[in-house]
Amino acid sequence: MNHQEQNSQEQEFKLTGKPAVAACDLRQEDFTHCLELQERAKGKGKRYVQMAAAGVLAVGFLISWFLDKEYWAGLGLGVFSLLLLGMLLFLPPVLLKKTAAMLAEQYKRLEYSFYENGVRVHDGMFPLDIPLERLAIYGDDAYLVLETTGNRLYPLPRRALTGEEGKKAEDAAEGYPGYYRFEAGGSNSGGNDGEK
């Protein structure tokens, strides 16, 4: 699909129904939690497998160098594997915090309107209409996180979902087919199959 066809499809999309509305002022902690939920949803385990592989390689290369002190390539590759392990261990949390700070600077307040067939997110300048087919929502006890197919994230803290209108917005979000709930213990209850 070329760019013009995609634009014409987006222009044809119209939100329907009466919206449930929610708005929130955002802080850096909101975006940090949002990014952590996305990491859990995308599979944090991949990073752990990479760290384990780097650790095994480091141990193997360093043992081979220890057994044969003439094998300098083993020492070099062992040190490289240890550096790689350190990067995998320490770099993602640093990048997560920097990304959260950048997003918090850009988005101070977001307004959400939950319709029958999608969501409108308004950042104070431009509204973005997102059809259900292009939307995933992650939730835990403190947040709802809306993610588009382009990996754009929009946090909605549950503290902002007060009153009757907030409850309607929360129910609408949790009723969408792309909703996934994370339990407090770290497990995922999967998609919305009618159970909450």
Residue 110: which CATH number?
2.30.29
Residue 196 domain-assigned (yes or no): no
**Averaged confidence pLDDT in the chain:** 83
Whether the predicted pLDDT of 83 surpasses 90: yes
Residue 7 domain-assigned (yes or no): no
The percentage of residues in the chain with a pLDDT greater than 90, rounded to a whole number, is 26
51 and 138 assigned to the same domain = no
Tokens 């057994």 belong to 67
* Phi and psi at residue 23, to the nearest 5°: -140, 150
Residue 146 domain-assigned (yes or no): yes
pLDDT at 11: 55
20 and 88 assigned to the same domain = no
Structure tokens at 108: 């101070």
Query: Contact, 153 vs 145, CB < 8 A?
Result: yes
Tell me which residue range forms the domain holding 107. Answer: 15-42+102-181
Q: How many residues does the chain have?
A: 196
30 and 111 assigned to the same domain = yes
Tens digits of per-residue pLDDT, 101-115?
Answer: 998 888 889 999 999
169 and 126 assigned to the same domain = yes
pLDDT at 196: 37
pLDDT at 53: 94
162 and 107 assigned to the same domain = yes
Residues 15-30: what's their mean pLDDT?
Answer: 88
Q: Which helix (H) or strand (E) holds 54?
A: helix 45-67
92 and 63 assigned to the same domain = yes
Whether the predicted pLDDT of 7 surpasses 80: no
Whether the predicted pLDDT of 82 surpasses 90: yes
164 and 85 assigned to the same domain = no
Residue 193 confidence class, pLDDT cut points 50, 70, 90: very low
88 and 126 assigned to the same domain = no
76 and 128 assigned to the same domain = no
Whether the predicted pLDDT of 132 surpasses 90: no
Residue 8 domain-assigned (yes or no): no
What's the domain count of the chain?
2
Residue 189 domain-assigned (yes or no): no
pLDDT at 184: 55
Residue 95 domain-assigned (yes or no): yes
Tens digits of per-residue pLDDT, 133-174?
Answer: 888 888 888 888 888 887 788 898 988 888 888 888 888 888
